[in-house]
Amino acid sequence: MPRLALYALVVCVLAVAAAVVSFVQGNWLGIVWVLLAGLSSNMTWYYLKRGKAGKSAAG
C-alpha cells in the first residue's frame, strides 16, 4: 500500500470517529467531519489506483 494512501486512510478513520463523537454529543459540527471523511476516502482510492498503475507500468 502506498504511503500516501495509508495516510489518507488513517485520516478517514479518524474523521469518521470524530463525526460519531460529534453526533453523539449533539454537535452538528459532525457534518464537517463527514465531509472530510468522504474527501480522504476518495484520496485513498486515488492513491491506491495510482500506485497500482505505477507498478504495472514499471513491471
Q: Judge whether 25 lies within some domain.
A: yes
Domain that holds residue 29: 2-54
Look-up of cell digits 485513498: 44
Write down the pLDDT at residue 7.
97
Q: Which residues, at least 6 apart from 37, have a Cβ–Cβ distance to it below 8 Å?
A: 12, 15, 16, 19
CB atoms within 10 A of CB 50: 13
Q: Quick check: is 35 in a domain?
A: yes
Q: What is the CA radius of gyration of the chain?
A: 14
Whether 16 maps to a domain, the answer reads yes
Q: Are 50 and 4 in contact (CB under 8 A)?
A: no
Question: What integer pLDDT is reported at residue 1 of this predicted model?
Answer: 84
Instruction: Please indicate, yes or no, if residue 44 is contained in any of the structural domains.
Output: yes
C-alpha cell at 3: 504511503
The per-residue pLDDT for 58 is 83
Residue 59 domain-assigned (yes or no): no
pLDDT digits (tens, 9 = 90+) for 31-59: 999 999 999 999 999 999 999 998 888 87
pTM for the full predicted model: 0.88
How many domains does the chain fold into?
Answer: 1
